[in-house]
Chains A and B, each alone.
Chain A
Amino acid sequence: MSGESMVRKGLNSTLYGNRLTAAVRLLLGAMLLLSGALKLPDPGQFAQVIARYDIIPPDLVPYAAVLVPALEALLGLLLAVGYRIRAAACLSLLMMLAFAAFITVNLVRGRSFDCGCFEVSRLGIELVDTVSVWVVVRDLVFAAGFALVVRAQRHLFSLEYLVERSRLKNLEKPKYE
């Protein structure tokens, strides 16, 4: 088998859903779950982060501060567990694109502040995460990961996969003997 066709085969298998796809899903899910869970304990602080972006009207900021961390955590949980994967990945994809767009707008405005992407300082980790092209690229890479998960047909190591497999197995058994 030539090298090119092996690459193509690997790519197709990843697009269909192999272990790599599952790893991407689990990693991204864990990341969302972590970043959502870290923001949940302090909606006030996250509201300040949102307010810094100056995009959402001030009156709506508290609602966003309440919704976004819960949504992140829930999406992360769904992706990691593997339930309603496609919907969760779709939403995550939209969210990442929105984050990237928000940061881009502020970059174009020529502003510089901590992006507040992960509140890891709560864990005692000092991470300076200033808005920059790199953060946009990172969000787009995450978005590509979510797009892969949306496109995939099969999700190994997921609840959906387990349920489907056991259903198919039981189909083969005759109902009455």
Chain B
Amino acid sequence: MRLLKDIIAIVVAAAAAGLAINLFHPRGFVPVSRQDLALKRVVSISEAEAKIKYDAGMALFIDAREKVAFEAGHIAGAVNIPADDPPAGALDALMDRPREIVFYCDGAECGAAAKLARAMIGRGYGRNLYVIVDGFPGWEERGYPVERSGK
């Protein structure tokens, strides 16, 4: 009996400590945060991980930058969907693709890739979405395949 009591006491103490830590944590959970978890389906990956998906041909690369930046150079085979002004129906066309979708823009600060990814989840896209943390500059720096379509 004392064992059971101790076990319950430990679990309660841990739950209290965990909740207290979560309460004061800058990125803690709001209790019952389905929305929060949905956003967690946007997975950050490095260029190297993106390259693995690229080589396997299992991913569709979406360039979230402006058209001008896209034409000046982009990941070979990527499709341009500017986050600020996505062409009508462009995101819907991605919804039922069997391939994984990798977004990128100009690096960790640009936010355009994450914005597109969130828009996809908002539309009810059910699987993980990937964002290349260092974006196009990181990809280019490593000497991975790049394509230019500008004049």
Contacts and interface: CB of A to CB of B under 8 A. Distances in A.
Interface size class, chain B? 20 to 34
B11 A91 contact: yes
Given A44-B40, A61-B37, A66-B29, A91 B15 contact: no
A71 interface: yes
Given A87-B3, A90-B3, A70 B14 contact: yes
Contact of B29 (A40, A47, A86, A88): A47
Interface stretch (B17-25, B79-87, B132-140): B17-25
Contacts, number: 79
Interface residues of A, number: 30
A101 B93 CA distance: 39
A62 B18 contact: no
Contacts of B34: 58-59
A87 to B, nearest CB: 3
Contacts of B7: 87, 90-91
Nearest to B31: A62
A50 B71 CA distance: 41
B72 interface: no
Contacts of A41: 25
Given A70-B15, A70-B18, A70-B21, 7 more contacts: A43-B22, A43-B27, A62-B37, A70-B14, A75-B10, A84-B9, A90-B7
Interface of A: 40-44, 47-48, 51, 58-59, 61-63, 65-71, 73-75, 78, 84, 86-88, 90-91
